[in-house]
Every structure is written in C-alpha cells, then in structure tokens.
Amino acid sequence: CTLMGFERNYLIKSLSNQINKVRFYSTLRGSGEINTQSTLNPWFLTGFSDGEACFIVNIYKSNKHEAGGGAGAAFQLGLHRKDLPLLGAEPLDYFGVGNISIKANGCCLYYVQAIKDLDVILNHFDNYPLITKKHSDYLLFKMAVNLVKEKAHLNSEGLRKLVAIRASLNWGLPSAL
C-alpha cells in the first residue's frame, strides 16, 4: 500500500512525536493556514483563559457616527511580568493574531482587538469552551463582536444593543455610560 505524501509525512511525524513524547496541536491561524508546530494545548489555553482572560466591549462617544458613539471589542490575557514564562509568546504563536505588550506597572498583556482577528478567538472558544461563569461573558462577547461585524454599532438601535450587552458583561456598566 503506498501512502500519499501528506499521509506519509503525517504518519512519520506521528511516530516521531510518540517516540519523542512531544505533542503538536493543529490550530487555525489568522491567515487561515494551519499551525502544526504549536505545542500549546488548546485546553490549557481555555483553562488559563477561564482564570486570566477578559472579554471586553468598549463603547465610546463619536461624532462620526449617526448614533453619537461607537463600539469595539477585544480579548485580553493579563499576567504579571514575573509570570510571563507561563505563556511567553505562545498565545501569539497559537492564534497567529494579536499583540503582547508589557506595561510600566509590571503587567503583561496578550490582546486581540481587530474584529477580523477576533474570529480566530471565537473559533477557539467555540471548539474548546470555557466552563466557568466566564462562558456566559464569552457568549455576550460573541454577540457583541457579531453586531460590530454587521456594523450595527453605527446606528442608535445597534449601539443600544451593545450597551445592554456591555451592562451584563464582566463588571457591568461604568458610571460614564
């Protein structure tokens, strides 16, 4: 029986991984390509996110929009600088989108805020769901991202929906809203 190139390479890689006790996880990258070199277990990232991630919906004033405001969304993982080796650049490598920044107060952030890049985050949490209360925050966040993708945040009705979502998300509405 002859194996096609892909199947043979996969078989060799699988045997090699079993021998070396190394696992590689396939992930869909922002560009649509599969990252087969990430050693980050997707369930680890979900569990870590259950404790350390934030799903953020930002509402802001803007004269450029009919509604008098706009909205955006972001996913963020935050750690103290001393804990950075826990993740290093792995989320960036795993997802293929986002940025890592180190703040002056010692906090390190991995964040994704471009709406097209948030699809990668949504895809991950749809396939590897959260198990704490944060799952309900994720579902609200997903609704908000979809509203922004549909450009609903540019009209009054859509902006009101986003404010309602923001009111139920995380800590609720800030006094300014």
State yes or no: pLDDT of 28 exceeds 90: no
CA 12 to CA 31: how far, in whole Å? 26
Task: With CA atoms as reference, report the closest residue to 177 among 95, 28, 63, 61.
Answer: 61
State yes or no: pLDDT of 23 exceeds 50: no
Task: With CA atoms as reference, report the closest residue to 71 among 157, 146, 140, 162.
Answer: 162
Task: Give residue-wise pLDDT tens across range 83-120.
Answer: 877 766 678 888 889 998 888 888 888 999 999 999 99
State yes or no: pLDDT of 25 exceeds 50: no
> Which tokens is 59 given?
């509402």
Identity of the amino acid at 60: Y
> Which tokens is 118 given?
């948030």
pLDDT, averaged across the chain: 77
CA 115 to chain CA centroid, Å, is 11
* DSSP annotation of 83: G
**Residues 6 or more apart whose Cβ sits within 8 Å of residue 132:** 50
Q: Where do runs of H (alpha helix) occur along the chain?
A: 5-20, 42-52, 90-95, 115-127, 134-149, 156-168
Count, residues in the chain: 177
